[in-house]
Amino acid sequence: MTVSPRLQSLVSWDSDWAGLRVAVTGIGVSGFAAADTLIELGARVVVVDAATSDTAKAQADTLKIVGAVDVLLGEEAVNRIPKIDGRFPELIVTSPGWRPDQALLAAAARAHIPVWGDVELAWRLRVRAGHKTADWLTITGTNGKTTTVGLTASMLQAAGLKAIAVGNVGTPILDALRDSVEYDVFAVELSSFQLHWAESLSPVASVCLNVAEDHVDWHGSYNSYLADKAKVYARTQKACIFNAEQIETERMVEDADVVDGCRAVGFTTLTPAVSMLGVVEGLLVDRAFIEERKDSAAELASMTDLGQFAPRHTVANALAAAALVRAYGVDAKAVRQGIQDYVPGNHRIQPVAKENGVLWVNDSKATNPHAAAASLATFANVIWIAGGLSKGVSYDHLVRDHAARLKAVVLIGTDTTALADALQRHAPDVPVITTPAGDTENMQTAVTGGASTGSSPDSGAAVMSRAVASAAQLAASGDTVLMAPAAASMDQFSSYAHRGNAFIEAVRELVEGQAQTGEE
């Protein structure tokens, strides 16, 4: 697509944004930040979203106050390209969840109107006269992004740098750019959706942690998903970090068009070769960013620094974060301190309770088979609570590889067919209990406009309460009840956090009930 000279010239905050006609799709966190920023820059903005909820209306009212041309809500608003001052927009800035085949975006492609994501917009605005320009360290992967971004930011902060985790992790990059704090560096979490709409990023260092089948429904194919993930390495300046245990990420680096002098640095949970980070006798070590790397390694941290649970994928995430910050110039001492300072987020292999010898673990963040496999590999004798919105993936490898760990499976979700069939094929002797969906309505996000429909939170709570009760009947001392759904949450819950909190609350009620009845 040919880009107009004016759009090509928009490479800083101080470029001529005034009067630029921009349509912003989505009024959620990313869309609101994009619209608010563009209004501040003097652009002529219209925002569209299919949502008509009170939250969406409140966001719309706020944007109208600060000067948006218009905010259009409802299904009709997202089926055609909106006009601004009687003319089509010169640019569309889309929220990451909007699929390329969505009606408005597809129409924009036919009309040759450029589409940027919020991350692309942020990259073009990062330079501002009189303000410090933060460097970017970019992180993507099917799983582990949020943990790695958090670890990266923690290590940078331990080195005395002003750093913040931004992007898909929750804080929009545009908000960080407008923060009164002048940051030295951003640790940027990028989803495949955000990378799809990004074309200009040039990070100091970048990593794709891992890849596995995910979001095939959004991208159209696994190969398209891989292609978007690989964009994280484009134009990297100093170091492309790859997973030495997964050839796909190494090939991404080999194929990447990077800045001259950029290095390829691997990480592994095994003994590292030269130019890699890895593990030696319980220590995380660096054989890449030291002068003597041919015959020695620098100690960065120990496995015990990673806390109570140090499953293999957590070690890998820590090594990836360490590689990024080492490429940026952070010393080994700050790497260890950053690991020790880091507080893992909830819903990621989170111990909830241990009662009567049964360990209850919440890993609601395991929204695909690859993430669930990492959880299952951490425990033995598992009663597995699983199921949800599958996103078109296969469960055969997951069930086959971990069938021996399974004592029983409790299925949740409005459509458990794919997972149930995989269990029947590869674990036919494992008892499977299906939790009735009850009155839970579909809460899947309508990506055609970002609107969310669905039931009250109580319906999801009821589903989880029944699942926990079923698991409790099956569990005995020495077992682990693991809620690692291997699926998205939006069929029965509003988010993975809602699902995880429902599990925590159901376990709490179960434990309290057992205590009151004196059950042993």
For the annotated binding site, the residues are 141-147
Distance from C-alpha of 98 to C-alpha of 432, rounded to nearest angstrom: 36
Burial zone of 313 (CB within 10 Å; 0-12 exposed, 13-18 middle, 19+ buried): buried
What is residue 264's DSSP assignment? Answer: E
Question: Are the C-beta atoms of 139 and 145 separated by less than 8 Å?
Answer: yes
Q: Which residues pair with 189 in a beta bridge?
A: 139, 167
Alpha-carbon distance of 293 to 301, in angstroms, equals 17
Phi-psi sector, 356: left (phi>0), alpha (psi -120 to 50), beta = left
**Cα–Cα distance, 312 to 270 (Å, whole number):** 10
Neighbouring C-beta atoms of residue 42, cutoff 10 Å? 13
For 89-134, where are the E strands, in sequence order?
91-94, 115-117
- Please give the Cα distance from 392 to 482 (Å, whole number): 23
For 506, residues 6+ apart whose C-beta sits below 8 A from its C-beta are 461, 464, 465, 467, 468, 469
The distance from CA 78 to its chain's CA centroid, rounded to whole angstroms, is 25
The sign of the torsion formed by the CA atoms of 202, 132, 8, 44 equals: positive
Annotated binding site for ATP: 141-147
CA dihedral 52, 55, 56, 58 (to 10 degrees): 120
Q: Quick check: helix, strand or coil at residue 344? A: coil
Place of tokens 């299906």: 434
- Our CA dihedral for 483, 486, 488, 489, rounded to 10 degrees, sits at -20
> What's the one-letter identity of residue 127?
V
Separation CA 466–CA 434 (nearest Å): 10
Max Cα–Cα distance, the chain, nearest Å? 75
Q: Which helix (H) or strand (E) holds 62?
A: helix 54-66
Q: Which of 390, 398, 391 is nearest to 423 (CA)?
A: 398
Other C-beta atoms closer than 10 Å to the C-beta of 160 total: 10
> Hey, which residues does 280 pair with through a beta bridge?
283
Q: What share of the chain is helix, strand, coil (3-state, %, to 5)?
A: 40, 20, 40
DSSP one-letter code for 369: H
Token representation of residue 68: 């948006």
